[in-house]
A and B are shown apart, each in its own frame.
Chain A
Amino acid sequence: MLDAAYLIPAFPVLGFVVLLCVGSKLKEPHAGVVATAASAASFVAALVTFAGLVGEDSHHRSITKVVFDWIPSLDVKVAFLIDPLSMTMVLFITGVGTLIHLFAIGYMHGDQRFSRFFLYMNLFLASMLLLVLGDSFLLMFLGWEGVGACSYLLISFWFERDSASTAAKKAFVANRVGDVGLMIAMFVIFSKVGSLTFSTVFERVEEGVFSKSVATAILLLLFLGACGKSAQLPLYVWLPDAMEGPTPVSALIHAATMVTAGVYLLCRANPFVGVDDSAMTVVAVVGAATALYAALIATSQDDIKKVLAYSTISQLGYMFLAVGSRAYVAAIFHMVTHAFFKALMFLGSGSVIHGMHEEQDMKRMGALKRFMPITAFTFLAGWLAIAGIPPFAGFWSKDEILLSALESFDGPLGVLLYAVGLVTALLTAYYMTRQIQLVFFGDPRHGKADAHGGHAQGEGHTEEQGQLTTPEPVAAGDQAGRGDDGDHGALGAAATPHESPPTMTIPLLVLAALSVGGWVINSPILLDYPLEHWLEPVVEAGRPLHLTEVSTATKILFSAIATAAGVIGIAAGFRIWRRGADQPGFEPRLLRRGFGFDQILAALFGGPGRKAADSAAYRVDAGIIDGTVDGIATVVRRGGAQLRRLQSGYVRSYALGITTGTVLLLAYVVNRGR
């Protein structure tokens, strides 16, 4: 059964090849069907492999499947590492990936590059699977760059838009900064061990080949790479702009899978933490700072996807806080639940954008619950999950992270990290409430020229009653979804919002179910932390924090505090935003502009940075380096011009030269003896 592991990445590669060869000839839905089938087949293969791995003894659940010897002299094989960590990743990547592929069939309907979209998506999936399945740092890096390239291609998918191609370039450049760290870390590891294979490297780590300072340096360099890929301070700048890509891309790449690669990397490298864990304090502090920072920005964004983008950055900060607290399982747990509810909300926002005819400004939405019941209903599940309301998935995973931060760091640092996490939880609940209030409740503002006017009269109480109850039956929504095909070309502000077709709503429903019940994978109730025990063999080297040892009373107390924070956030969100969409007082300019970080970067790199680059280009390069090269060439050319006169072509002058030379040589040889 474990041999099915070969098939996991093989199916997306096959889908990619098929679409590459015949994609342009396929009629519209078929390319999407091919890609979705490839993804689904990969998920089935992952399930089979998973079943095989469960059948193994818990301490032999680390199996390497070699495909071929790639670079024998460097001990690099193309091989897949099947262990609890990689299988957890693979399962949610292929599972969520399949749902998003399915969603994209509906979302990308009518796009002129329909098949190319799915070609990129399958290529992305293959790269992502290579990233998590690769058994060495090098193979992982190959997948790491592969997903980066796919991210670039998909952000700039609508490259006719200037902003899209700029955003793609920004993502690429920001990621390069992080990749430098990752590459240097790999060089250091290779120079110490002579191999990049995980098993070999980690064996040597346990033998004590790495000194404390080297281990710390490697962890910090890996973290730099993770900061780029997983959008942490200060390299997060690309992720909000990456929302220029189609929404399924945002859901798959920029929320559920690719951006979690940094968390995976640090969890995988946990044996280094066993040598010295001082680097992890940096990781935890950066994670907590990012969580708070991005949550603050998210409270004041108008674009429905920008809110989710900053929210993703904030949630990734939580994951790094967990990793920094050595609570690897909590990080992975939150990664999985986040993949469920954030993919759900991104797809939900995609459905909203689709239904609103490419409108993304939340201030121009409102009352969409009436027009898009399924989307609204599923989105609410995601909202409660991310807000940390029990028993939704986010509650359990976020709770574990907050508790680990407090348990892992002694004294004021632990309390500070916990407090930051708690405030972030409150802000998260607040900005998500603001979002659903603006999008799904309140007065309908679509179709009005002035989106920021118009206050609701008496709408407030009805929506409050309606928020937690199941909306009306969905048949009407489906009809609206099917009948919309014609009006996409002639969209206008006056077009009525409509529910999306079933290919889009089915993934939403599945993800909503997972957002509600996905927490059972690490349930403390009845099941005794299955994920914790499942992942234990992989993370035991990094001195993990075991929450299983914390007393139940403490857990209940801290859960209650976290839940209270979530409830306060939600209450505040409703109280403030029920009054209407136009409340600049709660949207400071500073936060609307994301603390002006982009402007600071632009000023820094546009002003002094540009001058430095200019002087490097025109003074150092053109003046000194080119000048040296040109100078040598000039000397040689002038010297040659003088010397060529000697070569007159007259045989007799040559003969004279030879004679003179001979005589001089003779004179020298004869006189030397004296």
Chain B
Amino acid sequence: MSLLAVADRAPSVGHGAYLIIAALLFTIGAVGVLVRRNVLVMFMCVELMLNAVNLSFVAFASRLGDINGQVAVFFTLVVAAAEVVVGLGIVVAIFRRRKGTATADDLHILRG
């Protein structure tokens, strides 16, 4: 029995569940960005929010039978990949500069 067939036979979960999970993931990500000080963790939380949006995109695409939702996800993935490259580069630079710590609150030179 192929894996595909198992999926076919699995009882279908309602689209609402996907959206609930997406909302949960997004909230976790948003709260994480707001409350954590570690730059790397904040960065990971941003990724979490991105993927929550991706999940809701896919759910809606499936629900509405519209391929455009999935296309948008691919765009998001590509942009996220590029963003990760830049973002991680910045994080590494911060780590080197701050001798091992990466607290976002230390980086407030741009304040008014």
Contacts and interface: CB of A to CB of B under 8 A. Distances in A.
B67 to A, nearest CB: 26
Contacts of B34: 652, 655-656, 659
Nearest to A647: B112
Contacts of B105: 650-652
B107 A646 contact: no
A648 to B, nearest CB: 5
B84 interface: no
Contacts of A648: 108, 111-112
A650 B112 contact: no
A25 interface: no
Nearest to B109: A649
A655 B33 contact: yes
Nearest to B30: A659
B63 interface: no
B107 A651 contact: yes
B37 interface: yes
B85 interface: no
Given A655-B34, A656-B34, A659-B30, A644 B112 contact: yes
B30 A646 contact: no
A390 B49 CA distance: 113
Given A656-B34, A659-B30, A659-B34, A651 B104 contact: yes
A659 B35 CA distance: 13
Interface string B23-40: 000000010011101000
Interface string A636-667: 00000001111111111001100100000000
B112 A645 contact: yes
A642 to B, nearest CB: 10
Q: How big is chain B's contact interface, by range?
A: 10 to 19
B37 A649 contact: no
A650 B30 contact: no
Contacts of A644: 112
B97 to A, nearest CB: 16
A651 B34 CA distance: 9
Q: How big is chain A's contact interface, by range?
A: 10 to 19
A648 B37 CA distance: 15
B111 A647 contact: yes
Contacts of A646: 112
A645 B108 CA distance: 13
B110 interface: yes
Interface in A568-592: none
A647 B111 CA distance: 5
B33 A649 contact: no
Contacts of A655: 33-34
A652 B35 CA distance: 7
A253 B105 CA distance: 80
A652 B111 contact: no
A339 B20 CA distance: 106
B33 A652 contact: yes
A444 B108 CA distance: 96
A648 B109 CA distance: 9
Contacts of B30: 659
A645 B107 CA distance: 16
Contacts of A650: 104-105, 108, 111
A656 B105 CA distance: 14
Interface in A584-632: none
A556 B60 CA distance: 118
A645 B30 CA distance: 24
Contacts of A651: 42, 104-105, 107
A637 to B, nearest CB: 13
Interface of A: 643-652, 655-656, 659
23 contacts: A647-B111, A647-B112, A648-B108, A648-B112, A649-B107, A649-B108, A649-B110, A649-B111, A649-B112, A650-B104, A650-B105, A650-B108, A651-B42, A651-B104, A651-B105, A651-B107, A652-B33, A652-B34, A652-B35, A652-B37, A652-B104, A659-B30, A659-B34
Given A647-B111, A649-B109, A652-B34, 18 more contacts: A644-B112, A646-B112, A647-B112, A648-B108, A648-B111, A648-B112, A649-B107, A649-B110, A649-B111, A649-B112, A651-B42, A651-B107, A652-B35, A652-B37, A652-B105, A655-B33, A655-B34, A659-B34
What 3 pairs across the A-B complex have the smallest Cβ distances? A649-B108, A649-B111, A644-B112
